[in-house]
Structure 1
């Protein structure tokens, strides 16, 4: 089925513009909304955040150089509130119940600039959907206050009641951080370093966390029966052993409660790695950007997140309603729902033919 005939620039993106205007019209000038529509459409076609490639893919009668200047002005001058973008993605989520949140950090280097992003996503069907992030103006780990700020924004905007649990790796530990999660009764399953010392209230002694799990065998799960104290916070511990590159590795998790569920939940954490691959080499090639100014890079990331949720919703629909993603012999899917949707959207937008005959724009509105 051919898409609508592109008799003009306005007709070409009318449906997408209508969708974004309904959500952003009270906060953004219509020209800004138009640019957002053009940008994410071009991003899905070019599969690169490089402005030269995006400008060349703009659905506009203007020269690519003019489109390039429009993009540069938007990045330099426009205000794009994080809450506005996050709430659009939140409304577009295919999950209406409690959410499994995943926190992680990705970074890369461009010239002498270190680009460091703290991300909070929603784990769902083999990928984490990006929801909130913070640009870090430094190298290395995030601070406790930066993590708290990200989760606090989620609570303020969407409500703590929407959180099932929070998953994170070894970087995301600390007394004040756990105190914040405990105080807000946010369930969590976070990996800790094996040499962490914990206090055993029953025995009134400190011990290395790894010593509590000396007897656990490879592929066996074990939950320490008694509550322990990590710093000043009470919590539970669980562990398992696995073979990684020929070496036995011990994985220890700290949990708010229900330690018997910890390892089952923690297996979902890897989905944020699929998100980062989608943002990078397997999708939009975010590392292609030459932008290093933080506020401009933040806007670029938000536009990329909007394109990401569009691709994900399209891929999820095709996978569940039209043609399921192939399962390989090793039991894993041939590609993620995001990649499935990106490939289809790119082909559809470039060819002008919607071969599966469903509205790729309407599906983003969840109606």
Structure 2
């Protein structure tokens, strides 16, 4: 827990990964996935230096330096020529925030006037970027369950950090139990897939 408002900074994110490595070892990390808010010069340098595989989304207008062409362009320009939802990886190394890495991405269906892209920066294996980055969606579902969807943890009146940590730990254990039970029940009686391709049920409302 951080004793402050707003997001964590690069140092705090690096400290968190180092803490994880200290407890479990670097060899258990398959990859690190993160959204657009969590890419930074120091963090990329740390991940590259420690050879930790990562798949981090970047903004469309992120500046990318192409060493083989000796020029800098917007990241979206590498994927603008492809069809919508056609996920591809750029097969040459690039430089972002002074770090050598790879890029993968696609042009998205966008309801907005401005075109949107899914662009992922990685340490290596850019061909796995889409599959690995999709796993991050489980984290979003966990956040949704922790908040208003199921456990409504934000309504707690606790203010002491140690008590909040214990509460979150207990809710995490409860969430994992619900998750495991859901998988078991799905194996016995699979959730119906509707005509639009979505599941008939997603979360059990425990409110």
Tell me if TM exceeds 0.5: yes
Deviations 1:186-216 (A, max 9, x none): 2111111122212222122222222222312
Counting only pairs closer than 5 Å after superposition, residues 1-367 of structure 1 correspond to structure 2 as 135-247=1-113, 248-320=115-187, 322-336=188-202, 339-340=203-204
Work out which structure has the larger RCO, using CA pairs closer than 8 Å and 6 or more positions apart in sequence. 1
Aligned residues: 206
C-alpha separation in 2, matches of 1:289 and 1:326: 35
CA displacement at 1:246 relative to structure 2: 4.7
What SS does the corresponding residue of 2:56 show, helix, strand or coil? Answer: strand
**Structure 1 runs, 4 residues or longer, greater than 4 Å off:** none
CA displacement at 1:183 relative to structure 2: 2.3
Aligned partners of 1:198 and 1:209 also within 8 Å: yes
C-alpha separation in 1, matches of 2:181 and 2:137: 22
Of the structure 1 ranges 288-297 and 173-182, higher mean CA displacement relative to structure 2 is found in 288-297
Aligned partners of 1:238 and 1:262 also within 8 Å: yes
C-alpha separation in 2, matches of 1:207 and 1:311: 46
TM-score by length of 2: 0.89
In structure 2, runs of 5+ residues without a counterpart are none
What SS does the corresponding residue of 2:52 show, helix, strand or coil? Answer: coil
In structure 1, runs of 5+ residues without a counterpart are 1-134, 347-367
What SS does the corresponding residue of 1:228 show, helix, strand or coil? Answer: strand
What SS does the corresponding residue of 1:224 show, helix, strand or coil? Answer: strand
Deviations 1:108-127 (A, max 9, x none): xxxxxxxxxxxxxxxxxxxx
Deviations 1:155-214 (A, max 9, x none): 222222222212111011112111221222221111111222122221222222222223
What SS does the corresponding residue of 2:150 show, helix, strand or coil? Answer: coil
TM-score by length of 1: 0.52
* Larger Rg belongs to: 1
